[in-house]
Structure 1
Amino acid sequence: MSLIITYIGAQGCVMAGDKRRIAFFGDKSNREILEEELYSGKIENESQLKKRASELEITLKITDDAVKLRSLGKVVVGEVSSKSSFETKRRRIYATTNGFQIIELTGSNITKMDKGESSIIVFGNKFTKKTASKILKKYWKSKTTLKEIETIFQKVLHEVSEKTPSVGSSCDLFIKTPALDKKESQKILRETVVRDVKLLQKWRQKLKKDLLEKAEAINMASRILTQGEVGRVVNVDEDRLEIVLGKDVQAFDVNWKQLASPGDKVMMFFNGEGDIIEGDLVVIDNERLCLKRNQSPLRCDIILCKSD
């Protein structure tokens, strides 16, 4: 879970967010126990977290390089997210001078939306939000500049990170000061949200396509022929051979486009070692393409696979 703090005012906005990311690996029920103890504030530091994770047989991966804030023109965006086995849920705040919009997404679909004007907004779990709000009150002044707010936010993030390992000490900060009235602010925010969500949808579509292609490539790679009969020689033309593929053999190019089915002809090449006659059986023996009769090596520019 992240801690993101945003100030929105008439002179501009300030946003600060930590960079910590924690991944949990292990039994689902034990992960839930550990997360509940972590996000409730029961676990106070990284040593306690690692000790408790070991007791629950949970493996942790803790990093402080997550990018949770982005600058989009006159707008700054902060995002917290949670992942399940099936979907990613995101909560985003888009802020600029005189306005903000908050959206919640499941996948790339907006499920909730809110907007407002001047405010201080904190994203985090119950413990980090409560702790951050208490520290903010300690440092806040009635008249505070944007630069002073930036310093206050840095102090808040640092002090919260000392009370819970769910927040890292490293942080990102942005200040935006475009001259916008409230109406202009909401217009720019609305346009930014629409454009940003569309990009997310395109990215998810591409990711899905890439994953499907990768899964298909893995499936095809598992079918590559490494042992067994390939086909028979039906024509010899100097170093070029025509081979009729066997009943369970297919040929593909490097992009997994099918070039030949069982019974089709493919071209192979002979390097001159040994003799070759029509009717010779072509095999793969210990991942080596050759003639079965005399082990004469052959080569080809195709990928030979077992049929489905």
Structure 2
Amino acid sequence: MSLIIAYIGKKGCVMTGDKRKIGYFGDKVNLAQLEKELYEGIISTDDEFSKRAKELGISIKITDDASKLKIVGNTVRGEVSTKGTFETKRRRIYGTTNGYQIVELLGSEQKSRQAGEKGIVLFGNNYAKQLAQNLIQKRWKASQSLKYMGEVFEQILAEVSSKTPTVGDKFDTLIQQPQFNPSQAQRHLNITIDNDIKVLVKFRQDLTEKLVQQNIAIDMANKIIDKGEVGRVVSIDGNMLYVQLNDKTQAMDGNWKQLAGPGQNVLMFTESDNVKIGDKVVIENEDLCLKKDKSTLTCDIILCSL
């Protein structure tokens, strides 16, 4: 659901891309039919798209705020992506003066990589690309400035967007024009792309770790004790009590790391002067207290069941 047009040559690189993103939810067979009609140009407007999706029982969400272009080093990067069940497929073009490379990724793993020196490159579905190609042949003037080329690309995307919902009517245009000859361009692209993919790998690793931590937090939050006995007093030092946890209780910190397991001691505080060794500690109505007289206790830990 994108259209990106890139020019790469001796003047530099100019790239224009739309900002459309479409989310689907519904029956796979009907979804395949909807996509077929989209990519064949049978559906030509957003209203027709919404109507046909409703007829097929497919829920759709259309937004025009996805940034598909980015400056990376002395290159412009354009990306189209497709999210699968387990991985995201990415197709990227990195362009600079006198050189470009096209990289295909599955997750953060490179599946293919090809290089070129100059030309016009189109990313998108076949129907949108064919519309754009026809318009480029009519309007292209290679002698013009990169700024002018960008304006022409925006005009082309606007016209294509009026004929297919797969392309939005909001665009970004980015230009880079460092002083590179073809060999310098490829060396710079190699370094830039390798570093950019490393950033993607790190991002995916961080995201995976974050999701794991979220799942741990959800799991542990469900184990927080809000009722029942948790241990007994084994030592008293003024207002400080050492409580031995019973065989069903563990103590966690705010990051859900275990501080004490069953049978181990944890520190609690009391304002009562009527605490005895062996007193049972309980949680009642989500309040931590002594079982015998409901004297309030406090602590800096989270008590959870195993």
Whether these two folds match at TM > 0.5 is: yes
Residue 4 (structure 1) shift? 0.3
Cα deviation, 1:284-305, whole Å, max 9, x if unaligned, reads 1221212222222221110101
Residue 27 (structure 1) shift? 3.5
Distance of 1:294 and 1:64 partners within structure 2: 62
Distance of 1:29 and 1:303 partners within structure 2: 49
Residue 198 (structure 1) shift? 1.5
Tell me if 1:85 matches 2:78. no
Cα deviation, 1:243-269, whole Å, max 9, x if unaligned, reads 111110000111222111111111111
What TM-score, normalized to structure 2?
0.94
Aligned residue number for residue 20 of structure 2? 20
Deviates more, 1:218-227 or 1:236-245: 236-245
Residue 103 (structure 1) shift? 0.8
Amino acid at match of 1:207: L
Aligned residue number for residue 285 of structure 1? 284
Residue 142 (structure 1) shift? 5.8
Tell me if 1:159 matches 2:159. yes
Change (3 A) 1:54 1:121: same
Distance of 1:104 and 1:93 partners within structure 2: 9
Deviates more, 1:58-67 or 1:150-159: 58-67
Deviates more, 1:235-244 or 1:100-109: 235-244
Aligned residue number for residue 217 of structure 2? 217
Deviates more, 1:128-137 or 1:227-236: 227-236
Residue 123 (structure 1) shift? 0.2
Distance of 2:58 and 2:283 partners within structure 1: 45
Q: Which runs of structure 2 are paired with 1:39-188 in the superposition (5 Å)?
A: 39-141=39-141, 143-188=143-188
Q: Secondary structure at the match of 2:267?
A: strand
Residue 68 (structure 1) shift? 0.7
Q: Percent identity?
A: 50
Cα deviation, 1:190-224, whole Å, max 9, x if unaligned, reads 12111111211122122222222222222222211
Aligned residue number for residue 302 of structure 1? 301
Amino acid at match of 1:244: Q
Distance of 2:288 and 2:57 partners within structure 1: 48
Distance of 1:227 and 1:45 partners within structure 2: 59
Q: Secondary structure at the match of 2:214?
A: helix
Cα deviation, 1:132-171, whole Å, max 9, x if unaligned, reads 1112122223643323211110101111111112211111
Cα deviation, 1:220-253, whole Å, max 9, x if unaligned, reads 2221111221111223333222211111000011
Distance of 2:198 and 2:102 partners within structure 1: 16
Cα deviation, 1:71-117, whole Å, max 9, x if unaligned, reads 12321110101111110111010111111110101111111111112
Aligned residue number for residue 245 of structure 1? 245
Distance of 1:288 and 1:128 partners within structure 2: 63
User: Structure 2 unaligned runs (5+)?
Assistant: none
Change (3 A) 1:238 1:85: same
How many residue pairs get matched? Answer: 306
Distance of 2:211 and 2:156 partners within structure 1: 40
What TM-score, normalized to structure 1?
0.93
Tell me if 1:192 matches 2:198. no
Deviates more, 1:224-233 or 1:141-150: 141-150
Change (3 A) 1:280 1:33: farther
Q: Secondary structure at the match of 1:132?
A: helix
Distance of 2:151 and 2:236 partners within structure 1: 81
Change (3 A) 1:270 1:27: farther
Supply the RMSD in Å over aligned alpha carbons: 1.8
Distance of 1:271 and 1:38 partners within structure 2: 71
Distance of 1:80 and 1:111 partners within structure 2: 15
Cα deviation, 1:164-193, whole Å, max 9, x if unaligned, reads 122111111012222222111111111211
